[in-house]
Amino acid sequence: MTAVPEWMRPPRPEGWHAEELDQLADAPRHTELIDGALALRTSPQRVWHARMVTALVNALTEQAPTGVEVDREITIRLDRWNRPEPDLLATTAPYDPSRTFYTPEETLLVVEVVSPESAHRDRNVKLRKYAEAGIANYWRIEDEDGSPVVYTYEIDGPTRSYAPTGIHRRELRTSLPFPIKIDLTGLVPGRKS
């Protein structure tokens, strides 16, 4: 059996704290903190996933109003024990090149592009955690035979849970968190109709 690297050992029995994630110099990119435990990407990223994230960042950046920034793969400090890293997000925080995380209060939209390795976290764990943190809008993008399907959710404030607002194929139109129109068939090269 291979020994666990020292940097992976939590500093306390109950796990890691959110602020300690930035201190893990040996941790691989895209390390998240879920309930005090490190979540590491264990499988290679697929080209479909990478291109979908890039295309969505570009589409949302073009349509974002003044005062809204779109970023990819930056963590959100939900609380002391949770710092997940969504594939992309829209935020009201001003650009800061040294920033390593956002807060729920600054986050308008979180988008997760589902991969086989992240499916359970994206469909269940993160859906619940983002809602409990009060993030107003959540999108989950699934690969349906090479074409994207977008599941959209909006927060129900009193219950701190998400209500589904739509399942989008071919085109996504929404007014939340700002007016957005995306031709989904044109997001992935080779899938245009």
Tens of pLDDT along 137-173? 999 999 999 899 999 999 999 999 999 999 999 999 9
Q: Assign domain 45-186 to its CATH architecture.
A: Alpha-Beta Complex (3.90)
Domain locations along the chain: 45-186
Does the N-terminal peptide bond of residue 164 adopt cis geometry, omega within 30 degrees of 0?
A: no
Q: Is 18:83 a contact under the CB 8 Å cutoff?
A: yes
Q: What confidence score (pLDDT) does residue 1 get?
A: 59
Residue linked to tokens 């090149």: 97
| pLDDT range class, residue 190, cuts 50, 70, 90 | low
Integer Cα distance of 86 and 62 in angstroms: 20
3-class secondary structure, 112: strand
**pLDDT tens-place string over residues 10-60:** 889 999 999 999 988 888 888 999 999 999 876 778 899 999 999 999 999
The pLDDT-based confidence of 4 (bands split at 50, 70, 90) is: confident
How much is the mean pLDDT over the chain? 93
pLDDT, residue 126, reads 96
Q: Who wins on pLDDT, 7 or 189?
A: 7
Rounded-to-integer distance, Cα 118 and Cα 125, Å:
10
Give the torsion sign (CA, 167, 169, 175, 179).
positive
Tens-place pLDDT, residues 67-106: 999 999 999 999 999 999 999 999 999 999 999 999 999 9
Q: Where does the pLDDT of residue 9 fall: very low under 50, low under 70, confident under 90, or very high at 90 and above? A: confident
* Average pLDDT score over residue span 110-136: 95
Neighbours of 169 (CB within 10 A): 12
